[in-house]
Amino acid sequence: MKTNGKGFKVLAFCLILLMAVGLFGTTAFAIASNGTGTITVSGVEDGVTVSAYRLMDVKVNENGQPQEPVYTWVDAAASWVRTNYSAYIGTGTDNSVQAAFSTASAENIAAFYDALAAAIKTTNNPLNIPVAGTCTGSGSIASLTMGNYLILIENGMKVYRPSAVNLVPEWKDTEWVMSDAEVTVKSSEPTITKTVNGKKADNASIGDTVSFVIETDVPQFPASAPAKNYAVSDILPAGLTLTGSIKVSGVTGAESDPLTEGDGNDYTQGSARPNSGGNSTFTLTFDYARISIYEKIRIEYTATLNGNAVLGETGNVNNAYLDYSNNPYTQTSWESKSDSATIYTYGMDISKVDKDDHDTFLAGAEFELYATEEETADKTNAIAFVMLSEGVYCKAAASDTSTTTTLQVGAKDSLTGKLTIKGLSEGTWYLKEITAPDGYNLLASPVKVTIEDKDGEALDGKVSGAAANATGEAVALVTLTVENDDGFQLPVTGGMGTILFTAVGILLMGAAVILLIFAVRKNRKQS
């Protein structure tokens, strides 16, 4: 709560007025009973309505002199004050502001204005104190008569606390002057942040588990406000599956406490957002009275990338929402904040071709994929895949049952010689040919493939080495061409003539050996 000066020193103010009367006579410095002033309000969002409610009158007599009691509660407020804070008002029909109000602690004054604001704004039999003036956003409310004013603001992104300000005359040199007043309102604007593996974006292979953290600010609602709604929702995309339990903590500085789920505890868990009514993966609705002691709420959980993961710039976006009462005096008034974190995944687009003619695509080849070169030699830990269609494979998740480690290139029409592998993270992979196309040689060593996001640390779902004209999910596929040689290959140093002479020489040597064997047998028989 913001006030003009240090609280409402009513008795001190009255004393100053009376001293001024005694010293300077009765006319030169008379106070105009209908004098007006301006209250300037700052710290308010654009477009939000600021309302001023007059709670007290400043009394002057017909000569423009202060009259005891100087401060009185306006009639519209007096009955409520007498019922709820009787020490602050006179008895019977005496509406004068009592010394107990001017000497009350800051905490008690704040509680008083919180309760009065709730009485004015409640939808159930509201206290009928008229609005004396308004402005929009930070601005000025002019033509206000003398008195004490309550400033209320609602329906912004921020949660505003009630503020109070005095609009009273001040003695300047030889006369009383109606001074304008200023007030800077107090507010809190809760925020929400979401990260995956400690970052705004990361990458993963299908089947990998990633960690998400949501942090939200706990707003400061007015103590007597009836609407202190506060809920956090999370919506996982189709490509992510929630795993394990959700950990919830209340955080203040470096300290945190675990929060407990269940009716009568810190929060309850459901599956519908309270503001929009839309479905969520989970919604945590908090008991504000139990969490108001904390600065933040932290929510931690893990999820697994599954076979529905999206490749490309869109990525797999995980959205979190904070829904809260922006007008704490109305149960149906909500505001929302959101944040997201994204997981990207990548793949390979392979063309199997004749070494001497890249327009000849080769069917019949089979591959295995490994994470390390050592595994290709040992033929251990070949990665499992799910076949999506001819020549198209997606890395298997743990829940997949029909899997294979053999990747067959396409053999039909435009798919001939084509192999697409999806659901891989950044890093180095090793593609080992286990079956060569008919009439071709098996590759002597595995093909090393490096997947790297084009934007480096920033990550945008596009890989270095994608096709130049790639769009959609193709921007996430590293393109490579794998060549095969046909026939047996021998080391040669000349052209076809050399090969022919070599072949003839081998035949002549074979014939000579046969003739030698016959000659030896013939000699043995004759002897």
Over residues 300-324, mean pLDDT? 97
**E strand map for 109-184:** 131-136, 139-145, 147-153, 159-160, 163-167, 169-172, 175-178, 181-184
- What's phi and psi for 432, nearest 5 deg? -110, 125
Q: How far is CA 290 from CA 214, 218, 273, in A?
A: 19, 11, 21
Place of tokens 């675990």: 258
Over residues 8-16, mean pLDDT? 41
Q: Residue 411 — very low, low, confident or very high, per pLDDT cuts 50/70/90?
A: very high
d(CA 297, CA 295) in angstroms, rounded, equals 7
What is the pLDDT at residue 510?
Answer: 59
Over residues 261-269, mean pLDDT? 97
Question: Average pLDDT over the chain, rounded to whole?
Answer: 88
Tell me the CATH number for domain 192-343: 2.60.40.740
End-to-end CA gap in the chain: 133
**E strand map for 355-476:** 357-361, 366-370, 385-389, 392-395, 407-408, 418-424, 427-435, 447-451
Q: Is the pLDDT of residue 114 over 80?
A: yes
d(CA 380, CA 382) in angstroms, rounded, equals 6
Over residues 175-187, mean pLDDT? 89
Contacts of 2 (CB under 8 A, 6+ apart): 163, 164, 165, 183, 184, 185, 186
Question: What pTM does this model have?
Answer: 0.83
What is the pLDDT at residue 4?
Answer: 40
Name which of 86, 120, 114, 105 is nearest 6 in CA terms. Answer: 105
What is the pLDDT at residue 501?
Answer: 42
Contacts of 264 (CB under 8 A, 6+ apart): none
Q: Is the pLDDT of residue 76 over 60?
A: yes
Over residues 103-130, mean pLDDT? 93
Q: Residue 175 — very low, low, confident or very high, per pLDDT cuts 50/70/90?
A: confident
What is the pLDDT at residue 179?
Answer: 85
Over residues 78-103, mean pLDDT? 96
Q: How far is CA 178 from CA 18, 27, 31, 35, 226, in A?
A: 17, 16, 8, 7, 37
CB 176 within 8 A of CB 30: yes
Which CATH entry fits the domain spanning 346-484: 3.40.50.150, 2.60.40.10, 3.40.190.170, 1.20.58.1290?
A: 2.60.40.10
Q: Is the pLDDT of residue 20 over 60?
A: no
**What is the bridge-based pairing of β-strands 346-354 and 209-217?**
unpaired
In the chain, % of residues over pLDDT 70: 86
Lowest pLDDT segment from 77-81, 280-284, 311-315, 482-486? 482-486
Over residues 23-51, mean pLDDT? 79
Residue 434: how many CB atoms within 10 A of its CB?
Answer: 15
Lowest pLDDT segment from 35-39, 151-155, 375-379, 485-489? 485-489
Name which of 190, 157, 185 is nearest 333 in CA terms. Answer: 157
Domains 192-343 and 346-484 share a fold: yes
What is the pLDDT at residue 504?
Answer: 45
The CATH architecture one would assign to domain 10-188 is Sandwich (2.60)
What is the pLDDT at residue 174?
Answer: 76
**What is the bridge-based pairing of β-strands 296-305 and 209-217?**
antiparallel
Over residues 359-377, mean pLDDT? 96
Q: Is the pLDDT of residue 301 over 60?
A: yes
* Cα-based angle 346, 352, 403 (whole degrees, multiple of 5): 55
Question: In residues, how long is the chain?
Answer: 527
Q: How far is CA 3 from CA 63, 111, 150, 153, 186, in A?
A: 29, 14, 10, 16, 11
Q: Is the pLDDT of residue 465 over 60?
A: yes
Where in the chain are the domains? Answer: 10-188, 192-343, 346-484, 493-527
